[in-house]
Amino acid sequence: MSVMVSLFDARRTRTSEKYTVYDADVLPMFVAEMDCALAEPVRDALLRAVTDGDTGYVGHGRALPEAFADFAADRWDWAVDPDLVRTTTDVSVAAVETLRRVIEPGDQVVVMPPVYAPFWDYVTEAGGSVTEVPLLAPAGTADPYDTTAGWRMDLDGVRQAFAEGARTVLLCNPHNPLGLVHDRESLVALARLAAEWDAVVVSDEIHAPLVHADATFTPFLDCCPEAAALGVALTSASKAWNTAGTKCALMVGASDRARAWFDGMPTEVVERTGILGYTASVAAFSEGGPWLASLLAELAANRRILAEELGAALPGAGYRQPQASYLAWLDLRALPWGDDPALRLVDEARVALSNGRDFGRQGIGHARLNFGCSEDTLREGLSRLAAAV
């Protein structure tokens, strides 16, 4: 049975942003939410909670830290200490509250564009200032069957940022919008560089369960002893199991320093965790593996369709298959849609994509396409885009 559901059925019953922002004739392929059914264990756990009236404030048990630790050990051979796991509403809150503990007002925080648009806001909300160290793009024209592995961190640029006063890196691993999975060697190099400058790395790893079969995810905290000593990982079940609205994320440490940061946070940071999100996350990490495997198979098929057919639909478009997630980064600069193609395509193709410019200056002329949908929806989107050329 397919994990994906038809866009028509989803739109008829759902009220989330994806299905309500645009008119009904626009294909919503922008925000990172999938057209999928809930995993049965997650659905059943939520139904039990609602039936039992278990909808109050979140408790203080160890169920979720232990479920995540088991998942991490099984999937990545990563030994997580449940005592160094805290929860909160979502990864955005986790990022802001962690940064508030590790920086002083005005401190520089390194981000690596093109990157998830809210990263700039996280830093400023926490009281810091953004220092951009863009990723290094692969040279030459990509074969669409290539993956995003050609992209890499600019470690020399990070060193220069440290030399100029930055002491924190806000890392995205896997990297959104590219779907890049940073390799172990790069992560080790970043950790050792940070250790040299007594810097901190906060690693957003929300897309980690969505890594495809041709890539290997390395948790930042597990890449080397230096990373464990100076890092914090942020993650959630929400992206992989499509439960963003239930509100639960995890902050993971591996050192006494991280424990002190967590213990120094206001109690409300944890108290704001949604109890339904907590319930859903326990079910996802402990019982959601088979459903996740089915999802990844369908996403891999859609990823192949894009590689096979995007060139014919959009001659001159640049695309590399993402190593993780269901988000495709499209270079549309060769097409007649200007600096912000997504803005044009809503009107000209009736397809809503994410604006590339939102991910940094490097996103000018680009757009992000969400292929977490049925094959029929994906093909309809490609057909509409082709007709708009």
Residue-range domains of the chain with CATH: 7-38+289-388 (3.90.1150.10), 50-287 (3.40.640.10)
Q: At what angle do helices 275-287 and 63-76 cross, to 10 degrees?
A: 30
Residue 318's nearest CA partner among 335, 331, 307 is 331
Q: What is the mean pLDDT of residues 299-307?
A: 97
- The answer on pLDDT for 330 being more than 80 is yes
pLDDT tens figures, 34-62: 999 999 999 999 999 999 999 999 998 99
- The answer on pLDDT for 145 being more than 90 is no
Instruction: Read off the pLDDT band of 131 (50, 70, 90).
Output: very high
Contact of 190 with 200, CB cutoff 8 Å: no
Residue 325's nearest CA partner among 206, 244, 236 is 206
Amino acid at 259: R
Number of neighbours of residue 305 by Cβ within 10 angstroms: 15
Q: What DSSP assignment string belongs to 360-381? A: -GGGTTEEEEE--S-HHHHHHH
Q: What is the mean pLDDT of residues 220-227?
A: 98
Say what the pLDDT of residue 141 is.
59
Say what the pLDDT of residue 233 is.
99
Residue 174's nearest CA partner among 87, 115, 246 is 115
**Where does the chain have alpha helices with state H?**
7-13, 17-20, 40-51, 63-76, 91-102, 118-125, 155-163, 184-196, 225-230, 256-263, 267-271, 275-287, 289-313, 341-348, 375-388
Contact of 177 with 117, CB cutoff 8 Å: no
Residue 249's nearest CA partner among 258, 257, 239, 259 is 239
Q: What does pLDDT average to over the chain? A: 97
Evaluate the CA torsion angle 70, 326, 372, 340 in order and state its sign. positive
pTM of the predicted model as reported, rounded to 2 decimal places = 0.97
Residue 320's nearest CA partner among 111, 116, 137 is 137
Say what the pLDDT of residue 139 is.
79
